[in-house]
Amino acid sequence: MAGKDGDRRITGVAEGTAPTDAVNVNQLNRISQGIDQKFAGMDSRIRAVENRSNAGIASAMAMAGLPQAYLPNKSMVAIGAATFNGETGYALGLSRVSDNGSWIYKASGAASSRGDYGGAVGVGYQW
């Protein structure tokens, strides 16, 4: 409060309990700390999702980098690795081209530095 002698502080204010009561600094500090804790928890969860996403992207990149068999009646086993924003992905693949060269079969699996796993299969026909 402002007065003729300058600003004044109101002291000894009890904690407000009713909707129209004033609050004191202690109440505001508790609310502020609670909000800070919630944001810290949310930041931690967002960081964990970001890390797992980066690891998943690295795994997808490793799978995309796998070479495949291209000659008729041939098979190939392949391995791949990739990194993305500090996370790593590994992949293992197997592919085969049919005897007449018309069909291509492919299967692959991947693992990430965050311990997640995934797999994919595909079949293609060419003419």
Q: What is the pTM of this model?
A: 0.74
Cα separation of 70 and 75, whole Å? 8
Cα separation of 72 and 7, whole Å? 90
Torsion of CA 36, 40, 46, 49, to 10 degrees: -150
Cα separation of 8 and 68, whole Å? 80
The CATH number corresponding to 22-127 among 3.40.50.150, 3.40.50.300, 3.30.1300.30, 3.30.70.890 equals: 3.30.1300.30
Three-state SS at 94: strand
pLDDT tens track, the chain, 127 positions: 677 777 878 888 888 888 888 888 899 999 999 999 999 999 999 999 999 999 999 999 999 999 999 999 999 999 999 999 999 999 999 999 999 999 999 999 999 999 999 999 999 999 9
